[in-house]
Amino acid sequence: MDDRIANRVMTVANSILKSKGTVRSIAAIHGVSKSTVHKDLTERLYELDINLFDEVRKLLDFNKSVRHLRGGHSTKLKYLHKK
């Protein structure tokens, strides 16, 4: 794996754990697509650091489990601001 990609993977992984953010929010911070961030965290990170991968996987699974709640909350806020 290219050093530039490996550095990005480690930076993105540490960033998502520190901020407890979502793939979309981390992608915006680092200026890459959410597909790239997702691939970095689910495939490339496993090759680099399996312990860090396990931590990130837990956060991604949690984010997936509350995804439907966040969407509903966002929609509620959107319509409250329109009034």
Residue-number span of the structural domain to which 62 is assigned: 3-82
> CA 44, 45, 49: angle at the middle one, nearest 5?
135
Instruction: Judge whether 16 and 30 are in contact, CB under 8 Å.
Output: no
pTM over 0.95: no
If one counts the domains in the chain, the total is 1
Q: What are the tens digits of pLDDT across the range 12-71? A: 999 999 999 889 999 999 999 999 999 999 999 999 999 999 999 999 999 888 776 666
Residue 62 to residue 49: CA distance in whole angstroms: 20
Q: What are the tens digits of pLDDT across the range 52-68? A: 999 999 999 998 887 76
- Judged by DSSP in three states, 22 sits in coil
